Amino acid sequence: MSIEPTNDLRITAVKVLDIRFPTSDELDGSDAVHVDPDYSSAYVILETDGAHQGHGLTFTIGRGTEIVCAACRSLSQGLVGRSMSDIVTNFLEFHRSLTNDSQARWIGPEKGVIHLATAAIVNAVWDLWGKIENKPVWQLVCELEPRQILELTELRYVSDVLSHDRALNILEQQAPHREKRIAELRRDGYPAYTTSAGWLGYSDEKIRELCLQGIEEGWNHFKIKVGQDIEDDRRRCRIVRETIGPDRHLMTDANQRWEVGEAIEWMKQLVEFKPLWIEEPTSPDDILGHKAVADALRPLGIGVATGEMCQNRIIFKQLMAADAMDFCQYDSCRLASVNEILAVMLMAAELNVRCCPHAGGVGLCQYVNHLVMIDYVCIAGTHEGRVAEYVSHLHEHFADPWRQKAGAYLLPEASGYGITMKPDSLHRYAHPHGSVWVERAAK
Amino acid sequence: MSIEPTNDLRITAVKVLDIRFPTSDELDGSDAVHVDPDYSSAYVILETDGAHQGHGLTFTIGRGTEIVCAACRSLSQGLVGRSMSDIVTNFLEFHRSLTNDSQARWIGPEKGVIHLATAAIVNAVWDLWGKIENKPVWQLVCELEPRQILELTELRYVSDVLSHDRALNILEQQAPHREKRIAELRRDGYPAYTTSAGWLGYSDEKIRELCLQGIEEGWNHFKIKVGQDIEDDRRRCRIVRETIGPDRHLMTDANQRWEVGEAIEWMKQLVEFKPLWIEEPTSPDDILGHKAVADALRPLGIGVATGEMCQNRIIFKQLMAADAMDFCQYDSCRLASVNEILAVMLMAAELNVRCCPHAGGVGLCQYVNHLVMIDYVCIAGTHEGRVAEYVSHLHEHFADPWRQKAGAYLLPEASGYGITMKPDSLHRYAHPHGSVWVERAAK
């Protein structure tokens, strides 16, 4: 990989912003564990000596965003003065300078706060690279040779499940079909599902209304939150199933609410509503627990989905190798950007697991909109049985918001990684000194 | 649990200090992955309206300590104004208010930076409780009823392997033997091993000298770092084995250097030196990888040890349940203090795994000195085949440094959790404004 010397940019400063939206007011995004989320982001801007800036973020839900911002500041100290050409020519080496710093790795490694911060920074690097090349990030990747894609993919600690040669083989097998698939995506988009209907804080009437509205708009998959009260869950599942009919899909999401045995017993009481999957039945760290749940529920027609809080590719490797997961819901900000997500997509292709990435929050749809295209074009080669999450929250704050139609994400056309937020939003929602938060504090 | 009203204290302020020692100068603590550690700590002081302060820390190795400090400040905001009686009466509820905050859990949960910060805070609470009761923390726990111990033990997400009833049963079975065991410990101490000999940066001569010195002092277990170069490792293992003779134990530690297959192949080349264990052969997140290594090496007489970077009890649960670990090296600061460590000790007792806790660093020996006593007296009931890590670094900075003799930790007698650092050390090594760091920057 290289950047034309005439296009190259040098990073001159790194700005880190704490941006929070007071979504807990309306219980948008509420679930059995995260009862009052204020959708937020640690937002990184790479300033340069040229015409472009790189924008990247990691998604958070309120308190704690300041800690991720502190980590973004610490980890990005070495970036000022570096040229983008230097970074992308040795992208994996750059990536490891963040994930594997000989001192900072102690407070991870590759998990939690420092991995979220790494994602924000590396997402900004990808955005800047895309803007320099005047291409959306999905296109940037889809125009790389298989060998070049592997040069920037983090396969460390997963070689026992996916060797370098096998990964290359997957990419090479799919390469001849890239152009045709891009044309298909430009026409039809990539299948998506909506979570807007089923937040735990919503009333029965609101759920019914949102389902009807979703059907009218052309959605075929509907997800609701479960896990706080079994009678509530049965009532809400019945409402959704009655409203969407027998042929559309209902998914359920427990957001880590249960012990392993509890998850199995609870979901047996929801079998009659035919959920496609149970998402996050228990701790996201519990590979063998998910395996037990999957073994118990698969015969009843319920799959296991997890991933939005799975910390890195090493956890995904095990979930896949143990056959503990039917749907892989990697998160575009919890994993350390495209470089690590490519490894997860490749393992999923190798082990025949369906990637249905997590989205919603702040900006996750923007990222997923690129990632599913890369997966379809270069790696999985199919989207059968796959469906990317879609939530319409907060898209109004982005300069180039994702576009969708009838249950599908459309191919992004703007250059970069699509996350650039409007200056007015960055200004007003900055925490705690933006006008939105100052006004709330005054009340 | 309760505190006499006349003894109760209210927390009036929380101080957070970034304390770093420039240990990288001498390559003390160097290994194949952490090549230049500056042993450090995020240090928490709970100030009160009475005679005592609570001191707690989490161990770090330099860069990144400022991020953990930021997390300590964020997570401890709710502490000011709370009474210790209120906290310890509902200790588990207090613990979960830190580990399971509905917003902050997103950037964990229970792992990495925020879990390390939780450990520092809760360690300080235990210290303060001990000082209020005028007892060392080990004694405080050993005088609780089995039922009371369980009331403050975090068993969430591990009930599939260890039920509440089974945990109670373990504690009750051991209860009648407590007094006799405390007398034994007071006489003989708890078996320990030294890692002081085998840091990767040390010369062959220094290793030989340190081994001879260790033998003279009465140590029977010697650990060295491996994983950077197989020929170096063979030479260093030969030196140690020749020096310590056939009957003392040699342990090896790779600090996550290898892929799974590589770990197996590498260690096969060290079999002739009869290592008792290989520690951290690969990523600490890789339960199934450790299982593969254990299955391959156990028949050759080499056990698998891991834990110092295992993020929480849920990872330990799986390592134990999958028979992927022979020696459980939990870390007193990476797990969220005594409340979570008790769960790990109980699972180890249930599944017959030997706990050999990680120590060294800054203050870990101080903590381990209490924890192994609790394990022996209340839970495991034996120390056969178990040995706690011991490194003599930096003990001079503590007000009540641990005491050892001939390969054993002695029972701590000072009240609290033993971590209080000397005011002069806190002052001089504060980063970046303490005199030690200011002088270095001036050079």
- Residue B188: per-residue pLDDT: 95
Residue of B nearest to A286 (CA): B314
* Contacts B110 to A, Cβ<8 Å: 285
Least confident range from A425-429, B288-292, B328-332, B439-443: namely B439-443
Q: Residues 76 to 135 of B: which have CB under 8 A from any A CB?
A: 100-116
> Distance between CA A46 and CA A311 in Å, rounded?
25
**Residues 168-227 of chain B whose Cβ lies under 8 A from any Cβ of chain A:** none
Determine, for residues A66 and B67 on separate chains, whether the beta-carbon distance falls below 8 Å.
no
Report the b/e string of A256-285 with b at 16+ CB within 10 A: bbbbbbbbbebbeebeebebbbbbbbbbbb
Q: Each residue of B77-130: pLDDT tens digit?
A: 999 999 999 999 999 999 999 999 999 999 999 999 999 999 999 999 999 999
Q: How confident is the model at residue B402 (pLDDT cuts 50, 70, 90)?
A: confident
**Closest chain A residue to the Cα of B111, Cα to Cα:** A112
User: For position B406, what pLDDT does the model report?
Assistant: 74
A163–B contact, CB cutoff 8 A? no
- As a whole number, mean pLDDT of residues A337-363 equals 97
Q: Which run of H or of E encompasses A369?
A: helix A364-374
Confidence class of residue B397 from pLDDT cuts 50, 70 and 90?
Answer: very high
> How many C-beta atoms surround the C-beta of residue A435 within 10 A?
12
Please spell the DSSP secondary structure of B233-272, one letter per residue: HHHHHHHHHHHHTTTSEEEEE-TT-S-HHHHHHHHHTTGG
Min distance A113 CA to chain B CA atoms (Å): 6
What was the pLDDT predicted at A63? 96
Which of B60, B70, B289 is nearest residue A67 as measured by Cβ atoms? Answer: B70
Q: Range with the lowest mean pLDDT among A38-42, A400-404, B50-54, B290-294?
A: A400-404
Q: Is B107 exposed, middle or buried (0-12, 13-18, 19+ CB in 10 A)?
A: buried
| pLDDT tens readout for residues B258-284 | 999 999 999 999 999 999 999 999 999
> Residue A64 is nearest to which of B106, B256, B282, comparing CB atoms?
B106
Question: What is the CATH number that goes with domain B171-419?
Answer: 3.20.20.120
CATH of region A171-421, choose from 3.20.20.120, 3.10.20.740, 3.40.1190.20, 3.40.50.300: 3.20.20.120
Q: How far is A190 from chain B (nearest CA, A)?
A: 28
What average pLDDT score do residues A161-176 get?
A: 98
Strands, E assignment, B262-361 = 275-279, 303-306, 327-328, 354-355
Q: 3-class DSSP state for residue B304?
A: strand
Instruction: For helices A91-99 and A337-351, give the axis angle rounded to 10 degrees.
Output: 100
Is pLDDT at B28 greater than 70 in this prediction?
Answer: no
A164/B contact by beta carbon, under 8 A: no
Given the residues B223, B225, B290, B393, select the one marked as catalytic. Answer: B225
Min Cα distance A260 → chain B (Å) is 6
pLDDT band at A297 (very low <50, low <70, confident <90, very high): very high
Which of B23, B72, B100, B102 should we substitute to test contact with A (largest number of A Cβ atoms within 10 Å)?
B102
* CB–CB contact A74 B67 (8 Å): yes
Which of A38, A74, A112 is opposite residue B103, by nearest beta carbon?
A38
Provide the pLDDT confidence category of residue A241 given band limits of 50, 70 and 90. very high
Residue A258 predicted with pLDDT over 70: yes
Q: How confident is the model at residue A78 (pLDDT cuts 50, 70, 90)?
A: very high
Is pLDDT at A1 greater than 80 in this prediction? no
- Which residue of B34, B292, B312 is in closest CB contact with A106? B34
d(C-alpha A337, C-alpha A123), whole Å = 6
Concerning whether B225 is annotated as a catalytic residue, the answer is yes
Q: What is the ipTM of this complex?
A: 0.96
- Given a cut of 70, whether residue A198 has pLDDT beyond it is no
Average confidence (pLDDT) over B6-19 = 97
Mean pLDDT of A106-123: 98
| Residue of B65, B115, B285 to mutate for A, most A C-beta atoms under 10 A | B285
* DSSP-assigned beta bridge partners for residue A249: A221
Mean pLDDT of chain B: 95
- Neighbouring residues of B320: CB distance < 8 A, sequence distance ≥ 6: B161, B328, B347, B348, B351, B353
Q: Chain B: residue nearest A20 by CA?
A: B103
pLDDT digits (tens, 9 = 90+) for B216-254: 988 899 999 899 999 999 999 999 999 999 999 999 999
The two tokens of residue A398 are 């982005």
pLDDT band at B334 (very low <50, low <70, confident <90, very high): very high
Using a cut of 0.80, tell me whether the model's pTM lies above it.
yes
Residues of B in contact with A103 (CB under 8 A): 34, 36-38, 60-64
Domain A11-136+425-437, what fold? Enolase-like; domain 1 (3.30.390)
pLDDT at residue A432 greater than cutoff 90 = yes
Q: At B212, which helix (H) or strand (E)?
A: helix B204-217
Domain at B11-159+425-437, CATH from 1.10.510.10, 3.30.390.10, 3.20.20.10, 3.90.1150.10: 3.30.390.10
Q: How far is A145 from chain B (nearest CA, A)?
A: 26
> Tell me, what's the pLDDT at A434?
97
* Cβ within 8 Å, pair A322-B288: yes
Delimit the domains of chain A by residue range. Answer: 11-136+425-437, 171-421
Q: Indicate the residue of B114, B314, B317 with minimum beta-carbon distance to A67.
A: B114
Percent residues over pLDDT 70 in chain B: 98
Which of these, B398, B397, B344, B365, lies nearest to B190 by C-alpha position? B365
Confidence check: pLDDT of B198 > 70: no
Does residue B197 contact residue B207 with C-beta atoms inside 8 Å? yes
